Structure 1
Amino acid sequence: MNIEVLYEGTPLPVQSVTWSGDITQAARKLDVSLVNTTDGRTQARRIEHGKELRLLYDGRELFRGPVFAFDIDARGRMSVTAYDENTYLTRNQDTRIFRNMTASAIVKRLCADFGIPTGTIANTGYVMPKLILRDKSLWEMMITALTYTRKQTGRRYFITSREGRLQLLERKEQIVRWVLENGRNIIDASYAQSIEDMRTQVKVIGGDPDKKPIIAVVKDDALIKRFGIMQHLENVDPDMTASQVQQRAKQLLAELGTIDDTARVDALGNPDVTAGTAIYVRESMTGLVGGFYVSTDSHTFSGGTHRMSLTLSATDDLPVMEYEEPPEEKRKRRKGADDKVDLILNAKGIG
């Protein structure tokens, strides 16, 4: 294992490096510790905000991003923090109205407007009629559009950064390539299960709730038999058809009708195991056996060793942000419907 941290292309004499990520966060983070002096009196290298750090692992680039913070003490001991380029998604806010656009088109538009370099942008396909997003970060806007798309199509997309460029990729079924087991590469582990957030029945209401609502109820009889009725209620866009409302209910039950499994594993490091990766675990004491997904990861490189700390989940979660139509739009929609009814009644000489 050969670790190298480059500052503006020049290697730094690092003591330890922590490289981390979380599926719910826009950017991955790099924390570097070093002794930045050769004589004990002056800095060997001036570190500046906005300059680029790169992390190389046996010559392979794992991270690239600008410096956002540093501190140094009187002995020259220094820590530096950088984030990948996707950090700008959470550092820019705006109000936007998107009409007849796909989520991928929204991602491209926002990146172009705010100078964020892009790489591969998958075509999300589904055209959303209108999204009104007020006082939101670019990250919130993108995740809202992707959540909306997933609920309509069942297709899942995620945002990442590679070589300094934002990537929008489709999350497909993953093949497990990495196995963690005690006696081999696991250092420590813990495991927990919960049905706190489980729902065994879902009710979705669309259409006009005051006149002709569209209601879909789906249930999991096996779960109800084991755990009782626990219903999730959701009101959706009044313009959705009956089949769309039914599909939304089925999709929600698939997501909510699960037992939450969470686990934490400390193991010998593998740079390919990061947030979003599928792995297989065998740990006898906790009973951890089977496939899991990495929710958060933290890789530490120090003294020639590489260790990683992982939070695992039984479900392949992605960040979710629900779209809520602004109140004035709802009022406008309702008034438009009432006006249409008045016109029909007047034409028929009624009212």
Structure 2
Amino acid sequence: MLPKFHYEVRFQKPGKQALRLPFSEATWSGSRQEAKRTLAVKTNNGRDRFWPDVNVDEGDLIQLISFLSGTPRSLFTGMIVDLGRTAKGDINAVAYDFGFYLLNNDVVMVSTGEAADQLLKRIFAQHGIPVGGIGAMPAVEKQVIRGKSVWDAVVDVLNQVFRSTGVRYWCWVDQGKIYVGTQRGQTIQWKVQQGSNLLNAERKRSIADMRTVVRVVGSDSEYISVLHDEVDSINAKRYGHLVKVIEIQDEDRGNKIMVAKQELQNLNRVKEQALVTSLGIDDVIAGTKIEVYEEITKLQGVFTVFGDSHTIRPGYHEMKLDLQMEVNGK
């Protein structure tokens, strides 16, 4: 039995009451690599006198609300940033959630080599961005951050942590607050499977981004000194020498082997991805985990959702998920 999908889109002008916005289609999407989640709404304001007047403008607040559980639940709140109209009366409104402010504010800051979580808190505090939660993280290199957006500065810091520890941290916005962690929280382990809610599945393996050699060089601008080469001889023989060069500061030269080993571990792998299309689940968005079972592609395991796109029409909800396999996936 199919779920009884029921959604509403509402918009609100400053100081005014929220109004229902009739729509033909809404696409709600996001990715772990994007600062913001997006809501794209298709509606119409043509010559039909029985159709409600659609008086939306850029800057209006917009919400996507689900009634699937019987009570209203806000899935998205954001601001209309793009608004298109056609001669037929079609209106295409695109809204971003509050991750928009991470992209449109630049950072000027000096890092003294403090812990990454403390640096991130200073970056967010500089622009008054509320923090929901940031766990303890190791120290990062001394640096001057100038002219980068908040989002780009945060991504740089998290990449430094990943290169030194092999632990991937992510940044996301939830209910207007910033969170940084290894995994987005969830209370239910959702499942999609053939014969039930799964509509389609694809799977691929790729070595396009693989590296089999990591070469560590010094930071001297006058000449290049190769400090260490870390090689996976088995994969280098099979796939060839695929070299990644990384530069380290003088004070980090003592850690050159450890840095090279960690970087090679991060890059010397076959990347595996899966794409699935299924009936929509409100809670399944980028950063959550989902269990998948499909016989032909042999997708059997728990995956992390890397990117999602939910298409919602009156009475219908479909989602497309870009997945990355977890350790227990097969």
TM-score interval (norm. to shorter): 0.7 to 0.9
**Which of structures 1 and 2 has the bigger CA Rg?**
1
- The letter for the 1-side match of 2:119 is I
**2:11 alignment partner, one of 7, 10, 22:** 7
Residue 263 of structure 1: aligned partner: 274
Q: 2 CA distance for matches of 1:134 and 1:250?
A: 30
8 Å Cα contact 1:207-1:214 kept in structure 2: no
Q: 2 CA distance for matches of 1:138 and 1:184?
A: 42
1:82 aligns to 2:95 (yes or no): yes
How far is 1:146 from its partner? Answer: 1.5
Residue 321 of structure 1: aligned partner: none
- Superposed CA offset, 1:4-44 (max 9, x none): 22212333222221100122111010011223479539972
- The letter for the 2-side match of 1:5 is V
Residue 160 of structure 1: aligned partner: 172
Q: Secondary structure at the match of 2:261?
A: helix
Q: 2 CA distance for matches of 1:173 and 1:216?
A: 40
How far is 1:239 from its partner? Answer: 1.1
Residue 332 of structure 1: aligned partner: none
Residue 188 of structure 1: aligned partner: 200
Q: Secondary structure at the match of 1:152?
A: helix
Q: 2 CA distance for matches of 1:20 and 1:121?
A: 23
Q: 1 CA distance for matches of 2:73 and 2:111?
A: 39
Q: Secondary structure at the match of 1:240?
A: helix
Q: 1 CA distance for matches of 2:238 and 2:302?
A: 24
Q: 1 CA distance for matches of 2:318 and 2:93?
A: 20
8 Å Cα contact 1:51-1:67 kept in structure 2: yes
8 Å Cα contact 1:217-1:249 kept in structure 2: yes
Q: 1 CA distance for matches of 2:74 and 2:105?
A: 27
1:66 aligns to 2:75 (yes or no): no
Between the aligned residues of both structures, percent identity stands at 30
8 Å Cα contact 1:37-1:43 kept in structure 2: no
- The letter for the 2-side match of 1:34 is T
- The letter for the 2-side match of 1:290 is G
Q: 2 CA distance for matches of 1:305 and 1:175?
A: 24
Q: Aligned ranges for residues 131-146 of structure 1 at < 5 Å?
A: 131-146=143-158
- The letter for the 2-side match of 1:266 is T
Residue 248 of structure 1: aligned partner: 259
TM-score, reference length from structure 1: 0.77
Alignment RMSD (CA, Å): 3.3
Q: Aligned ranges for residues 88-167 of structure 1 at < 5 Å?
A: 88-116=101-129, 118-167=130-179
Q: 2 CA distance for matches of 1:211 and 1:276?
A: 43
Residue 331 of structure 1: aligned partner: none
1:16 aligns to 2:20 (yes or no): no
Distance 1:211-1:19 versus aligned 2 partners, 3 A rule: closer
How far is 1:174 from its partner? Answer: 9.4
Q: 2 CA distance for matches of 1:2 and 1:146?
A: 38
- The letter for the 2-side match of 1:179 is K
Distance 1:98-1:43 versus aligned 2 partners, 3 A rule: farther
Q: Aligned ranges for residues 260-299 of structure 1 at < 5 Å?
A: 260-299=271-310
How far is 1:108 from its partner? Answer: 3.0
1:28 aligns to 2:32 (yes or no): no
Distance 1:73-1:42 versus aligned 2 partners, 3 A rule: farther
Q: Secondary structure at the match of 1:234?
A: strand
How many aligned residue pairs are there? 314
Q: Secondary structure at the match of 2:53?
A: coil
Structure 1: which 5+ runs fail to align? 317-351
- The letter for the 2-side match of 1:60 is R
TM-score, reference length from structure 2: 0.81
- The letter for the 2-side match of 1:182 is Q
Distance 1:267-1:192 versus aligned 2 partners, 3 A rule: same
